[in-house]
Amino acid sequence: MSGRVTVLTGGVGGAKLVLGLMQVCPPDTISAIVNTGDDFRHLGLAISPDIDTLLYTLSGRANAAQGWGREGETWTFMDALKSLHGEDWFLLGDGDMALHVLRSHLLTSGETLSAVTARFAAAWELALRILPMSDDPVATHIETDRGDLPFQRYFVEQRCIPAVRAVRFEGAAGARPAPGVIEAINDPDTRAILIAPSNPWLSVDPILAVPGISEALAAASAPVVAVSPIVGGQAVKGPTAKLMGELGLAVTNEAIADHYAGIIDGLLVDERDGGKGLAVPHAVTDTLMKTLEDRARVAMAALDLADRIAG
Ligand code: FO1
């Protein structure tokens, strides 16, 4: 089937699905709406981790084992920074620094995050649209038993150890969807809107918190299908299962479906969990994405579910 595909994504799992989509759809028909709640200023630099993870993953530059940063990275900058007793909890590789320095320079000279991101995607010959959820600052904060932590302090410095009480998105109320975001949801030529298997609370909720986006999704004529981040009662990577426990939720697809209630029309679940008890239309497949073929298969299964719902 033809038509455009829009995908909401954040983190490593999200990038994998987008790469899978790139194998099964013409890249210029894909619009990725990317979480920017992880963004922060560090050492004076504007860091946009989920945008960078997508740029690296889609251009074949990513350190696949690590999930973030570049393959074959060198660390001269970090060694020198440590010798100067600079903050070294957040690792900035030499090649990675080019993204942060150039983005910071362009933002300072007045370019929007969207424009900078489009410039980087074009430089690395990526034909899909990479759309930050907003050009306004939105910062994910994690309220924990060790106090209120900005996202990267929780995720990297504290390694997700503090128990989460609540997640909030500073600045979201005043943030506007970035150019192209609402259009990517409302485009009459949109065949499907996918929510990648990103952490719903940490990587998707910031996108849904930008006024206008969840409303557009709820009203969209295209089917909205989420890929569950749960595989075999666990989350593949990152703190999803631990977070769900701390929020008092069972690590089940019912909890994922409840979280997205009102937004999604379908849920793609892993065959190890199955879809038993799910009220929302669903499909079952092996959603573990280790190889490029796995990623293409999961993307195809999500699109097939969307087509079935649309049909
Ligand atoms: N994740 C880490 O666990 N440790 C790091 O030192 C680290 C540095 C880093 C630098 C640039 C960047 O774009 C991402 C980086 N990440 C690091 C990942 C980052 O924390 C992301 O927010 C996660 O991938 C979750 O989306």
CA distances from 186 to 127, 212, 218 (A): 20, 12, 11
Kindly tell me if the per-residue pLDDT of 236 is higher than 90. no
pTM across the whole model = 0.98
- Regarding the beta carbon of 50 and ligand 1, being less than 6 Å apart is answered yes
Residue 1 confidence class, pLDDT cut points 50, 70, 90: low
Convert the pLDDT of each residue in 166-214 to its tens digit.
Answer: 999 999 999 999 999 999 999 999 999 999 999 999 999 999 999 999 9
Do 190 and 6 form a contact (C-beta atoms < 8 A)?
A: yes
Task: Please state the domain extents for the chain.
Answer: 4-41+134-310
The span from the CA of 59 to the CA of 126, in Å, is: 7
- Regarding the beta carbon of 135 and ligand 1, being less than 6 Å apart is answered no
The span from the CA of 310 to the CA of 257, in Å, is: 19
Q: What is the mean pLDDT of residues 69-95?
A: 98
Residues 6+ away with beta carbon under 8 Å from 220 = 185, 186, 190, 193
Kindly tell me if the per-residue pLDDT of 237 is higher than 90. no
Q: What b/e string do you get for 83-92 counting C-beta neighbours within 10 Å, with b at 16 or more?
A: eeeeeeebeb
The architecture of the domain spanning 4-41+134-310 is 3-Layer(aba) Sandwich (3.40)
From ligand 1's centre to the CA of 308, what distance in Å? 37
E-strand ranges in 38-196 read 40-42, 45-47, 129-132, 139-144, 147-150, 164-170, 190-195
Residues 6+ away with beta carbon under 8 Å from 183 = none
Residue 67 confidence class, pLDDT cut points 50, 70, 90: confident
Q: Report residue 231 CA to chain centroid gap.
A: 18
From ligand 1's centre to the CA of 237, what distance in Å? 13
From ligand 1's centre to the CA of 63, what distance in Å? 12
Paired sense of beta strands 190-195 and 224-227, if any: parallel
